[in-house]
Amino acid sequence: MAEEPAGAERTRWELIVAFSAIMLATLLAALDQTIVATALPRIVGDLRGFDHLSWVVTAYLVASTITVPLYGKLSDLYGRRRLFLIAISLFLLGSVLCGTAGSMGQLIAFRALQGLGAGGLIPLSQAAIADLFPPRERGRYIGFVGAMWAVAAVAGPLVGGTLTDHVSWRWIFYINLPLGLAALMIVARTLPAGSPRRETKIDWLGAAILSAGVTLLLLASVWGGTTYPWGSAEVVGSAVVGVLLLVAFVLVERRVAEPLLPLPLLRDRVVATASGMSFLVGALLFGITIYVPVYVQGVLGASATNSGVVLIPHAFGWVLTSFVIGQLIARSGKYRIYPIAGAISILAGVTLLSRAGVDTSRTAIAGELALIGGGMGVTVQTLTVAAQNAVELARVGVVTGALVFSRSMGGSLAVAGFGALLANRLTSELHANLGVDASRVDTKGLLQGGLHVPPGLEHGTQLALATSMRDVFVVMVPLAVIALVLALRLPERPLRESQH
């Protein structure tokens, strides 16, 4: 974006308007991850496709994850605005088609299309902030973007449930239209087009290999323990071929002129450390938001609604620290201490959570989640600012995409691992607490919908689930320790006060 010494007030106002479009785009992506879950039972009932239920989520997850690096790279080459318009348009088209779906097959296909657009919303939003503001100011604005995730975490389940109960589940997709169209118009009018880039050959081979490898790894993690046993040929074969394709991707990237993910970037200590921490934070974030509600429902006996409410302190802790740390970074121009403080907060919260049992109060859980959420609010935005500051503006899209991709992969793979651990431990604990009556407990239903067990078996089932969940939370502790070690290794570099 060209620097204009004159007309600063007008330019500042245009930047704020453009930033509002970034916030809307973030809200779109965040809402879609929280609003759909509440409607899935009704969708399955209407479209009669229970056997394909998981694919409604999986199709979106795979499509959105594999496109993140490609959006980042292409936005560096052709400008953020053009890719933003494409991403929002695909997302809105997918949303409209999802709302009109007449079968589970159609819904799954349209969710994949929606995911192709969603894969660009988050990395392009964070990269577009780099186009609008210099590194020293970015933390302040990324904090506002974090607030959109908190709004979605609270409003998504409530809006989704209300629309599903009183209107139709189809409106959880149609509701994206007014927000998306507003974002589309504002982006088209106010977001900088970006500097012209030299013509170059896009690394489509690398993109294809990376997409195939990531897809197979995600499918292995989703299939394992549910659709197929973990040791089955389908799961093991997908995982092995996925890893081999990722190795092939690295070999290809070392030889092409314009790689999708320039490997020398990963030799930068700031970028490598931020990517590693993003992977671990994603693992902890997904683990907390998925398995804490299972614990609150199954062990503490809360309703589905109340189990979602217990996550609110996590969201507000994230928002509060994002705002505060963003201001502090803008004033001081320093960032290294904040990921360290955030990692310590996450470690403390996870350690306390690992002691949860049948007698733990919901208030205690809420406090621990606020501690974890506060630590994540400090860490996530600071890592983005640090990594973007470490590269020239022409590489901001690639680096931002790498961080988002790392966080998504960490979350997806960790959820699969936590799920396998929980399922195995729960089976053995049910036998230990209930003996032959363990076969009367619907384990799968217990993990998905709370404490629905035959009369007289409630206490033993609660003990079994509490012990199993504690093991899952204990495994999170070493992940938080590694994140702290990485935070201590993050170098401090002065934040630039200009775009260049």
Query: What is the domain partition of the chain in residue ranges?
Result: 10-193, 203-257, 264-500
Give phi and psi for 68, each to the nearest 5.
-55, -55
Please state the pTM of the whole predicted model.
0.83
User: 2 pLDDT band (50/70/90 cuts)?
Assistant: very low
Please enumerate in sequence order all residues whose Cβ is within 8 A of that of 316, keeping only pairs 6 or more positions apart, or say none.
150, 370, 373
Question: What is the number of alpha carbons within 13 Å of residue 55 lying toward its C-beta?
Answer: 15
Q: What pLDDT was estimated at residue 53?
A: 64
Asked which of 126-135, 317-326, 388-397, 448-457 is least confident by mean pLDDT, the reply is 448-457
Alpha helices in 195-268 (DSSP H): 204-223, 233-253
User: 363 pLDDT band (50/70/90 cuts)?
Assistant: confident
Q: How far apart are CA 224 and CA 414, in angstroms?
A: 12
Tokens 């007698």 correspond to: 359
Whether 10-193 shares its CATH topology with 264-500 is answered yes
Cβ–Cβ < 8 Å for 104, 72: no
How many angstroms separate the Cα of 27 from the Cα of each of 117, 148, 155, 404, 434?
14, 5, 11, 16, 45
From 177, 233, 241, select the one nearest 212 (Cα to Cα).
241
Cβ–Cβ < 8 Å for 152, 289: no
Tokens 């299309």 correspond to: 113
pLDDT of residue 278 exceeding 90, the answer is yes
Q: Which residue has the higher pLDDT, 484 or 313?
A: 484
Length of the chain: 500
Q: How far apart are CA 296 and CA 498, in angstroms?
A: 47
Structure tokens, 431: 């036998």
Q: What pLDDT was estimated at residue 5?
A: 37
Cβ–Cβ < 8 Å for 102, 132: no
Q: How far apart are CA 319 and CA 146, in angstroms?
A: 6
Q: What pLDDT was estimated at residue 8?
A: 39
How large is the average pLDDT for residues 27-37? Answer: 78
SS3 245: helix
pLDDT of residue 10 exceeding 60, the answer is no
Q: What pLDDT was estimated at residue 198?
A: 53
Q: Judge: domain 264-500, CATH 1.20.1250.20.
A: yes
From 25, 279, 324, select the one nearest 148 (Cα to Cα).
25
CATH superfamily of 10-193: MFS general substrate transporter like domains (1.20.1250.20)
pLDDT of residue 7 exceeding 50, the answer is no
How many angstroms separate the Cα of 200 from the Cα of each of 20, 193, 194, 418?
32, 18, 16, 43
pLDDT of residue 9 exceeding 90, the answer is no
Q: Which residue has the higher pLDDT, 345 or 26?
A: 345
How large is the average pLDDT for residues 206-215? Answer: 89
Report the range out of 283-292, 307-316, 463-472, 480-489 with the highest average pLDDT. Answer: 480-489
Cβ–Cβ < 8 Å for 487, 343: yes
